[in-house]
Structure 1
Amino acid sequence: MSSFRINIILFGILLISIISCKTVKNEDTTESPKRPNIVFMMADDHAYQAISAYSDKLIKTPNIDRIASEGMLFTNASVTNSICAPSRATILTGKHTHINGKIDNLHPFDTTNVTFPQILQKAGYQTAMFGKLHFGNNPKGFDEFKILPGQGRYYNPKFHTNKGDTTITGYVTDIITDLTIDWLDNRRQKNKPFLLMYLHKAPHRSWLPAERHYKEFTKKEFPLPETLFDDYKNRGVAAKTAEMNILDHMLISYDNKITKETVDELDIKERRFIDRTKRMTPKQKASWDAVYGPIDREFAKNYPTMNDSTLMVWKYQRYMQDYLGTIAAVDENVGRVLDYLKENDLDENTIVVYTSDQGFYLGEHGWFDKRFMYDESFKTPLLIKWPNKITPGTTEDEMVQNLDFAQTFLEIAGVEAPEDMQGKSLVPLLKGEKEKWDREAVYYHYYEYPGEHAVKRHYGIATKDYKLIHFYYDRDYWELYDRKKDKQELNNVYNDPEYQDVVKELKTKLIELRKKYKDSRELDNYYIQLYENKRRKG
């Protein structure tokens, strides 16, 4: 065979190889799916009772409901520690608060913790955060952020950013959304998947609605909770001594928006007064006074004839009017973001999560705030849509927690989670592969006592059927609730002879969970000592 023919054959083989390689490469590019974008929406203190996908007794939230109708609604989602900053630390790290160190709102966040945004950023995701973080001014793992300092303000808020501080005129819920959409529109890199954390201040205390909503909501009257006048007779001392009763502990001025002048005139003793309207522009203040001024004068007129019952109902109605008014703006703005994703062809490859940093009491047991392991505080809303993965309109009752978010997002992104994360990826549930889910119980631990609202330290275990809680520190006692028979958790059956087998079984499981999550009596004592040292130092 001539060298010319050999060269022709070799050239042909080489050409076929090149074409084959190109074909395989093109096929791989075509078949390899783009990594999903992740939009994580979270409100602060948004009770599941105030989302109409769960219950429409109080408010309609059509835009948040869209996430459920197009995706999945979780009915047994809970938190590991029902208080703002610890909850957020758990979400970011995928670890219980006794591990990540953010046990309460007082201790600083340990910035050596590795967070899932850092991991996603390293894996090629563009990352951004807008709104309320609640701790720290320089969150790691974000290409861009604009976050409120601490609690932030409802009107004309200040923001910490990568490039310094800025104050923006307007209403905080609208502004956070403006910043979010501006980033999506102008600085999102279209060749990269993105993680977007869209975090609302609302409906956190002290509940200042937008002008367009307080005009409407201050005229509304809401149904009273069945347990508004709870006497706590069948529970332990923690429920009786907590300082978050609407009648006794909600402040007429700070919370219910009665002016200091009226409070002084009526000789009402208040421990706190902060005039939130001082941040308003003259135009904003005039609009506020036009609506809240008559409320103030009407209260001054009626207060001398009010008894405890009528005052409790009045305070509850004022609470609901403002709290739910702030949620109306959240729902509208969630709709703005959902519309943007759809109109810009992003929704099909974007997973959208809506949740809260914990639950909240809306008058149940006579309370506002959170902290307890009782359901209204312990459970949190969770709605997720993921087109072509989640069957629209699905309801899921498995036991899931905010502990699980980090690993879920990492699996969705195709990134391996660190071994020290303590949650479970929700992906099997999202895909309808329930047989791959094996969690029967979740663990909870609350630390901030003595402190705001005086809710005693406790930890516990919850299954779908029961909840066992151990209160410790200054008191040492147990509570057990039958979650099927006693949905309002009014009767502690820990000492009931009929439940002793349940107590024994749950205590065994609780010991196992404490060991699994590396919690212990030694850690309890360590954090007690840490807390007491901090209090002594002031």
Structure 2
Amino acid sequence: MHFSKALIAAIFLSASFSALIRAADRPNIVFIFTDDHCVQALSAYDDSRISTPNMDRIAHEGMRFNRCYVTNGICGPSRAVIQTGRYSHANGFIRNGNVFNGNQQTFPKLLQHAGYQTAVIGKWHLGSTPQGFDYYDILKGQGPYYNPPMITSDESGKPVTRKHTGYTTEIIGDKAIDWLEKGRDREKPFMLMFQHKAPHRNWMPAPKYLNWLDDVEIAEPETLFDDYSGRETPAANQTMTISDHMNDNDLKLTVPRGLMPEQLEVWNQAYTAKNESYLAKRDSMTETEILRWKYQRYAKDYLRCVKSVDDEIGRLLDYLDDEGLAEKTVVIYSSDQGWYLGEHGWFDKRWMYEESLITPLLVRWPGVVQPGSVNETDITSNLDFAETFLDLAGLDVPADMQGASLVPLFKGQTPEDWRKSFYYHYYEFPGGHSVNRHYGVTDGKHKLIHYYGPNHGGGEIDAWELFDLHRDPHELQSQADNPDYAEIRATLATELNRLRQRYDVPADTQPARKPRVPQRN
């Protein structure tokens, strides 16, 4: 049968138009992502330290997830997992300092191919130029809190670095709204990754919040004075205690670099008198008193940074409302992992312990997600985000992705085959804060952790911890060698091996010997 060129062109045009119509019916996606934000500093989860009304708004108008676990609790690897829907060992980015291979399959590329317009604004921290995005404007490296250099593409598509003046959280907020207002194609659905540096170390607040909380005493965590006696040696051998490893720059006892003269003037007005008061009496203070002072300074600066992020989220939500976009936009809030806001005397993350394993997850999807709903029990993960974005766009999830779409959970429907256990793996040792390499499994009730590989002071470590999360929610006493937990340990060890096989974890991270299971007397 013979077709004219005009008819063939018409057929292709009609098909393209139909695809565009289908794409236009799909929801927009706004993924809001912070760095090192713990549930202890988000009032939808815990209102004892801070009020975050705009983050809470997402929860009140949508769903809060209480058991969102991360696969590898550190900045860059978490971002690589989200891009690929694959564990660190599978996507090749296992620790900070790696460079992400952007040539591999990622969800933004798949969304682009399906007709979505994609953008990432803010922190990237993957060491490579973003691929799969129609627009990117990202912090250079980790990025400072003030006056950040940011990388975007020039007219020819090549990366170019541009300097900015102002507070980074606010600059990222301005850029996100500007792209929504002026940069996107309004005929296409969009996916925006709105990613903040805050509240990452070294917690430099915005000028408007430098004195906020000065007259407030922040509640101390129960485990602030943890002595690590109930666990294996890694807990004691880390270098992330507030008492010994937080430096003067962290504590704002030194003048920060990189501020403009007017910024520095406001900064000094906020900190100089408070610092002088502390330094004048420090020599006469006990170690306990000094730790308590450091905790208050650290916690307040951290919370001040969170407050600015909450403000920018509010601006974005208001924009979606004002432009009539809210009803057709899925808004998801999360962070790259949890964080220690003084628990166990620590700052930072990395561990499989609960405070860093659990990350916030809030989802608003008008007309689909039940407002004010809470998912208490289902184990979710950053491993699931890529699959979820694809499912929201009506796309099939590639077979080599290792998570699962959260869309059924958004609708209040838990699939029968939903995961009942979760695998975690941390690799960065030797490295920052000296946290031993470890992997483990949790079912939300109990947790089995294996420390392996090079150890502090030389040699190898081969140690196990087991926690009963109901009886010991702060994970202060390992039960790994308790005969009363022998059956639980054996069950978890079997499940751990099953998950390692399922995810094709390389054999070089297998234990040096089969774990000894204690026997009942």
**For 2:415 and 2:104, how far apart are their aligned partners in 1?**
33
Correspondence for 2:353 among 371, 374, 383? 374
Q: CA offsets, 1:36-75, max 9 Å, x none? A: 1000000100011100000001100000000001111000
* Secondary structure of the corresponding residue to residue 279 of structure 1: coil
Q: Do the aligned residues in 2 keep the contact of 1:429 with 1:437 (CA within 8 Å)?
A: no
**Paired position in structure 2 for 1:351:** 330
Distance 2:135 2:55 in 1: 25
Matched, 1:139 2:118: no
Q: CA deviation at 1:436?
A: 4.1
Which of 229, 233, 247 is the matching residue for 2:225? 229
**Cα deviation 1:313-333 (Å, max 9, x = unaligned):** 010000011000001100011
Contact map agreement 1:45 1:360 (CA 8 A) in 2: yes
| Correspondent of 1:322 among 301, 313, 320 | 301
Distance 1:283 1:33, change over 3 A: closer
SS of 2:212's partner is helix
> How is 1:159-174 mapped onto 2 (pairs within 5 angstroms)?
159-163=150-154, 164-174=160-170
Which of 397, 403, 407 aligns to 2:387? It is 407
Aligned 8 A contact 2:452 2:509 in 1 = no
Q: How does 1:37-436 map to 2 (within 5 A)?
A: 37-163=28-154, 164-251=160-247, 253-259=248-254, 276=256, 278-397=257-376, 398-436=378-416
Q: Are residues 1:472 and 2:452 paired?
A: yes
Moved more, 365-374 or 111-120: 111-120
What value does the CA root-mean-square deviation take over the aligned residues? Answer: 1.8
Deviation at 1:174, TM superposition (A): 0.6
1:29 & 1:158 partners in 2: Cα distance? 36
Distance in 2 of aligned mates of 1:293 and 1:205:
21
* Cα-to-partner distance string for 1:344-371 (whole Å, 9 max, x where unaligned): 0101111000000000000000000000
Q: Shift in Å at residue 32 of structure 1?
A: 9.6
Q: Which residue in the other structure is 2:437 paired with?
A: 457
Q: Judge conservation of contact 1:47–1:380 (CA < 8 Å) in 2.
A: yes
2:507 matched to which residue of 1?
Answer: 521
Q: Taking every aligned residue pair, what percent have the same amino acid on both sides?
A: 48
Partner in structure 2 of residue 448 of structure 1: 428
Large movers: runs of 4+ above 3 Å: 26-33
Specify the SS of the correspondent of 2:133.
coil
- Counterpart contact for 1:457–1:472, Cα < 8 Å: yes
Maintained 8 Å contact 1:222/1:317: yes
How big is the shift at 1:28? 12
> 3-state SS of the aligned residue for 1:480?
strand
Between the aligned partners of 1:181 and 1:516, the Cα distance in structure 2 is 42
Aligned to 1:46, the other structure's residue is in SS state coil
Gaps of 5+ in 2: 1-16, 155-159, 454-459, 512-521
Are residues 30 and 436 of structure 1, via their aligned partners in 2, closer, same or farther at CA, if it must alter by over 3 Å? farther
CA–CA distance in structure 2, aligned partners of residues 494 and 231 of structure 1: 19
Residues of 2 paired with 1:223 and 1:217: CA distance? 12
Whether the 8 Å contact between 2:102 and 2:128 is mirrored in structure 1 is no
Q: How far apart, CA to CA, are the structure 1 residues paired with 2:99 and 2:230?
A: 37
Measured in 1, the distance between the counterparts of 2:19 and 2:106 equals 31
Amino acid across the alignment from 2:40:
Q
- Distance (Å, rounded) in 2 between the aligned partners of 1:75 and 1:147: 30
Q: Partner of 1:204: helix, strand, or coil? A: coil
How far does residue 296 in structure 1 lie from its aligned partner after superposition?
1.9
Report deviation, 1:107: 2.0
State TM-score, norm by structure 2.
0.90
**Kept in 2: contact 1:245–1:366 (CA 8 A):** yes
Looking at structure 2, the residues matched to 523 and 379 of structure 1 have their Cα atoms a distance apart, in angstroms, of: 23
Cα drift, residue 522 of structure 1: 2.6
Deviations 1:145-188 (A, max 9, x none): 11001110111111000122111111011100100000000122
For 2:221, give the aligned amino acid: P
SS of the aligned residue for 1:160 comes to strand
Query: What is the count of residue pairs matched by the alignment?
Result: 483
- Give 3-state SS (helix, strand or coil) of 1:216's partner: coil
The whole-number CA distance in structure 1 between the counterparts of 2:21 and 2:260 is 55
In structure 1, the partner of 2:9 is none
What is the match of residue 3 of structure 2? none
Pairwise CA distance, 1:137: 4.5
AA matched with 2:410? L
Secondary structure (helix, strand or coil) at the match of 1:233 reads coil
Q: Give the direction of change, closer, same or farther, for the CA distance of 1:169–1:33 in structure 2 (3 Å limit).
A: closer
Tell me the SS of whatever aligns to 2:227: coil
Alpha-carbon offset, residue 491 of structure 1? 1.1
**3-state DSSP of counterpart to 2:310:** helix
Larger radius of gyration: 1
Distance 1:370 1:451 in 2: 13
- Contact kept? 1:218, 1:318, Cα under 8 Å: no
Is residue 51–residue 59 contact of structure 1 (8 Å, CA) maintained in 2?
yes
The 1:124–1:231 alpha-carbon spacing in structure 2 relative to 1, beyond 3 Å, is: same
SS at match of 2:403: coil
| Secondary structure of residue in 1 paired with 2:495 | helix
Deviation at 1:30, TM superposition (A): 9.8
Q: Deviation at 1:524?
A: 6.3
Task: Give the 3-state SS of the residue equivalent to 1:355 in structure 2.
Answer: strand
Aligned partner of residue 215 in structure 1, secondary structure: coil
1:420-465 per-position Cα deviation (integer Å, ceiling 9, x unaligned): 1100111111111124452100100000001110000000001021
Tell me the CA shift for residue 189 of structure 1: 1.1
Q: Which amino acid in the other structure matches residue 130 of structure 1?
A: I
8 Å Cα contact 2:98/2:127 also seen in 1: no
Q: For 1:34, which of 25, 28, 31 is the aligned residue?
A: 25
1:55-99 CA-partner distances (Å, limit 9, x unpaired): 001100000000001111000001000000000000111000011
- Structure 1 residue 498 and structure 2 residue 484: aligned? yes
* Unaligned runs of at least 5 residues, structure 1: 1-25, 260-274, 526-538
CA-CA distance at 1:232 after TM superposition? 0.8
